[in-house]
């Protein structure tokens, strides 16, 4: 058994669920009621639908809003598709971010593939990683999307000294690895757990990113015994 926590930007709700090794179980409180609230009446009396864009991105709420929510909301309004009605963050039991999502309120009374394709393409332009998906509860349908691949570097907290020394600067390590990967990030992505500190990178190829930082990770003291994981 494992626990996944879903944050709707503030409240924390923990739910137990079966956990299948490397697969993240998507448990969201609001989805327990999806059969009742997938189709809703708007203020003007028209009927709209709610869909969810689940992003396989380990990004926090503020950066999620800047990176995805605000530009997607502007796009939805421009196309007269709808608006962003909410968002949240899914966490592992350890507190590490598992995914984030955006709830989209559609104004249309009819769901169509062209609209879904436009939304997916917009999110991919915003650099959504592989493993993301558009969830249409009313159609019992999921549309996978995402082009970026992800690399997570997990550094043992025992590597961090009590005082600052050359070779143990995590800010330098992060910026140097970005330089080696030739990545200009659209957000800062990191996590500090009880046993490890993680740095996250998203680019065109996990293999290319891994190769680019291999020598640095091997030689930089702070990265001793660090593990590298493909996260997208």
What is the pLDDT, as a whole number, of residue 120?
98
What is the pLDDT, as a whole number, of residue 220?
96
Cβ atoms of 149 and 230 within 8 Å: the answer is yes
Lowest mean pLDDT among 2-11, 79-88, 119-128, 205-214: 2-11
| Mean pLDDT, range 205-231, rounded to an integer | 97
What is the pLDDT, as a whole number, of residue 90?
96
pLDDT above 90 for 19: no
CATH assignment of 149-230? 3.30.70
What is the pLDDT, as a whole number, of residue 146?
98
More confident residue, 99 or 162: 99
CA-to-CA separations, 146 to 182, 205, 208, in angstroms, rounded: 20, 13, 18
Q: Which residues contact 63 (CB under 8 A, 6 or more apart)?
A: 187, 188, 189
All structural domains of the chain with their residue ranges: 2-145, 149-230
> What would the pLDDT profile of 141-177 be if each residue is shown by its tens digit?
999 999 999 999 999 999 998 766 667 899 999 999 9
> What would the pLDDT profile of 33-53 be if each residue is shown by its tens digit?
443 344 554 444 445 799 999
pLDDT above 70 for 86: yes
């Amino acid at each position: 058994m494992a626990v996944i926590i879903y944050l709707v930007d503030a409240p924390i709700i923990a739910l137990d669920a079966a956990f299948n090794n490397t697969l993240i179980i998507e448990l969201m409180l609001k989805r327990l009621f999806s059969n009742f609230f997938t189709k809703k009446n708007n203020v003007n009396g028209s009927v709209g639908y709610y869909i969810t864009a689940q992003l396989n991105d380990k990004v926090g709420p503020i950066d999620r809003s800047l990176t995805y929510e605000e530009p997607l909301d502007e796009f939805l309004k421009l196309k007269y598709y709808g608006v962003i009605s909410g968002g949240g963050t899914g966490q592992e039991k350890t507190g590490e971010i598992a995914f984030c999502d955006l709830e989209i309120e559609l104004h249309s009374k009819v769901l169509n593939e062209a609209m879904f394709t436009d939304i997916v393409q917009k999110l991919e332009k915003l650099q959504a990683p592989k493993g993301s998906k558009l969830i249409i509860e009313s159609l019992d349908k999921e549309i996978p999307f995402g082009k970026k691949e992800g690399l997570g570097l997990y550094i043992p907290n025992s590597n961090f000294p009590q005082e600052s020394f050359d070779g143990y600067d995590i800010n330098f390590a992060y910026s140097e690895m970005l330089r080696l990967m030739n990545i200009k990030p659209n957000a800062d992505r990191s996590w500090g757990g009880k046993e490890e500190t993680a740095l996250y990178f998203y680019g065109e190829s996990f293999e290319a990113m891994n190769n680019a930082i291999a020598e640095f990770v091997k030689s930089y003291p702070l990265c001793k015994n660090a593990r590298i994981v493909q996260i997208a």
